[in-house]
Amino acid sequence: MKNKLIAIMTFSVLILASCNRPKEKKVAVIEEANVKTVNLEERGEYLVSIIGCADCHTPKKMTEMGPVPDMDRYMMGFDSSGALPPIPENVPLGPWALFAGDLTAAVGPWGTSYAGNLTPHETGIGSWTLDQFKKAIKEGKYKGLDGSRPIMPPMPVEAYRSMNDEDVEAIFAYLKSLKPIENVVPVYIPPTS
């Protein structure tokens, strides 16, 4: 009788155990069509927007809301058809910087610098390679060329030195996709003593 009781209990435990299967874990399956992929140009457009490249590299036009980027001249840099207004004689240079009204040129202790043409026209970055662009952004080399002068303020090269290569490539891809605009930006003018 004892063996019969043990057999019944063992059988009952086995039946209960088999009825209590662990619950299946539900795994979310993401369909490929629902995954948003961001291509280089889209990523570059986003980065150019949040970094504020157009703040200095795009001439502005005055509206009722104040100055706004002139999208017909987007990323063309300082408009070479214009000229900087004269620097007032009573404003000493030194620790101060003066900016053109549209922020595409600046005068300071480093001299006079003009925002470059970042469109894919040959007068901009049209002939540049990705390596040149990386060298310009991350090392602050003028036109991304070894042995060239540094890119002058107000370009925030120090802030961009640690930018990862993928982001630099995305910015480059976006800029290369823009409308090319012919605009030979004036050359940098060193400070006078």
pLDDT tens for the chain, 193 residues long, are 666 656 566 655 556 556 655 566 665 555 555 555 679 999 999 999 999 999 999 999 999 998 999 999 999 999 999 888 887 777 776 778 899 999 999 999 899 999 999 999 999 999 999 999 999 999 999 999 999 999 999 999 999 999 999 999 999 999 999 999 999 999 999 987 5
Domain ranges of the chain: 38-176
Q: How far apart are CA 58 and CA 72, in angstroms?
A: 9
Rounded Cα gap, residues 138 and 141, in angstroms? 8
pTM above 0.85, yes or no: no
Residue 74: both structure tokens together: 């987007």
Q: Partners of 150 in the beta sheet?
A: 141
Is the peptide bond preceding residue 186 cis, with omega within 30 degrees of 0?
no
